[in-house]
Amino acid sequence: MTCIAGYGGGSDAIVSALGSLPDSAVELADVQTYQTYNAARNAVLESGSEVCLRFEDTICNNLVDCMIDKGGVGVDNDTRGTVVDACLDTVMKNQTQDCIDGERYDSVLPIDYNIARYSAMECMDGWDETVAAEGSCAIFTSAPDAICSGAFSSAEQVEQIWTGLFTFAGDYDVSL
């Protein structure tokens, strides 16, 4: 029950409803305060598909920024968009479509804690902090935050993507 209060921002309405909450999550969906909160939250919540797309865009945009910083052959600000698209097509391939089709980062009500979604969002936040402090190349040359492991569907997927990123950079004569 404490989690729900925290999840709802600790609002007075949520806190007062805690004493009379139903025993099951299904019944929880009938609590008006919870319905109102979720209607408002879902109106502004990034969809699972949007998180999938943002995750791949974050990876490829940071890779291309790193390649530009390292002077990759044929990679500069004028070709940036084309190279990002090539990264999305060759490195990410079907990964993002599989993420969307599998609803990997979707938010499911009434209790919508999705560890993969949370991990992906925390991972991207960590990448943003690393890039701001150390530059785009740092996310490819340092150990990732442990939370990032939850963003992927398997260890094989991590290996496939990271191998693809390093190979892709090598195709432009950039060593990560």
Whether 176 is covered by a domain: the verdict is no
Helices (H) and strands (E) in the chain, counts: 10, 0
Tokens of 165: 């990123």
Number of domains within the chain: 2
Give this prediction's pTM: 0.76
Query: In this predicted structure, what is the pLDDT of residue 37?
Result: 73
Range of the domain at 70: 47-171
143 and 98 inside one domain? yes
134 and 57 inside one domain? yes
89 and 109 inside one domain? yes
53 and 38 inside one domain? no
Tokens of 43: 């109106």
26 and 1 inside one domain? yes
141 and 162 inside one domain? yes
Q: What is the pLDDT along the chain (176 residues), one digit of tens a residue?
A: 444 444 444 455 555 555 555 555 555 556 677 677 777 777 778 889 999 999 999 999 999 999 999 998 999 999 999 999 999 999 998 889 999 999 999 886 656 678 999 999 999 999 999 999 999 999 998 888 899 999 999 999 999 999 999 999 999 999 98
Query: In this predicted structure, what is the pLDDT of residue 145?
Result: 86
Distance CA 28, CA 18 (A): 10
24 and 79 inside one domain? no
8 and 52 inside one domain? no
106 and 158 inside one domain? yes
Query: In this predicted structure, what is the pLDDT of residue 44?
Result: 76
53 and 135 inside one domain? yes
99 and 18 inside one domain? no
Query: In this predicted structure, what is the pLDDT of residue 10?
Result: 45
Q: Which residue has tokens 């990876």?
A: 59
